[in-house]
A and B are shown apart, each in its own frame.
Chain A
């Protein structure tokens, strides 16, 4: 056998070409399935600079089959310390504390029609739709009743400062295929990477999904100041004092000249 194969020697060129074709072939062969859903944002970077009062982001896209659209926006994961306060001798003081790691710091969702939310609960949980389905890891060290209280308190606090929004926004549809959604991010949103997930829902099932990122970051002077203050605190402290002393001296000098000009 081996004897015969060696005699039938295939030129190296052909072997290499077949190997290359073999690698590329899977990439060239598409399943003949059209893309149901595509979505994008009008900007992927929100810059927080001085005078930032909030920003509006436009999500837009197309669907090529019937169905409802649902969008969820989840903010960057953060460690959160939740402290329970209790009434002590007439004043509210801190009592117990629980620390969660990597919880979404922001939550928002929007729907094209109320039908989008008629998914079975397991689907809602899997895609983390709704404030009550945000991922909270189990904390085995903490008593489960107390933990339920802490979780409820955390969600209540986040709803109050509007980083968790309960009311869904409305996705507008234009014609059969186009949709758009405008989302407002207020001035005090957490910085970091946000994940914007768009779902196409049909017959109580998620048939298509697309995720796109949104970055919110402090740029320019603000991020540099924050960074300096935390990375080089001694230098920052000396700088602050130097600024204060110089401005104090400068103020005195300028005002003296000003008064002299007034009284002459």
Chain B
């Protein structure tokens, strides 16, 4: 059971999709602090606590969309997992793409999981809740 606040970083450029995640999380069992950034560059700044994200808390989990403006999700994944400081943060790719190449590529870049955004809304809510419960309640995460 999580007693402290859990921080999740969502990297998603589409506002409507980001709000859906927020809705799903708020309806769930866990108390989650959700932060949203809009593109790959902001994501890296946030994770490194640089620039306007100077006071950012290191997230317990990152939900990453692949198709992002500026720096795309694949680049973010590669950079984070190559950085010894950041590589231990679990990254779950949450994207609309069902392409085999994207799936394989993501796992090759050491994504912790790959989830295809479902079109059905109920499925989406269920998945987000299952996701967060698994990563933030069931598994043991490294201390920050």
Question: Does A associate with B in a complex?
Answer: no
Q: B residues engaging A (CB < 8 A)?
A: none
Write the residues of chain A forming the contact surface with B, with a CB cutoff of 8 angstroms.
Answer: none
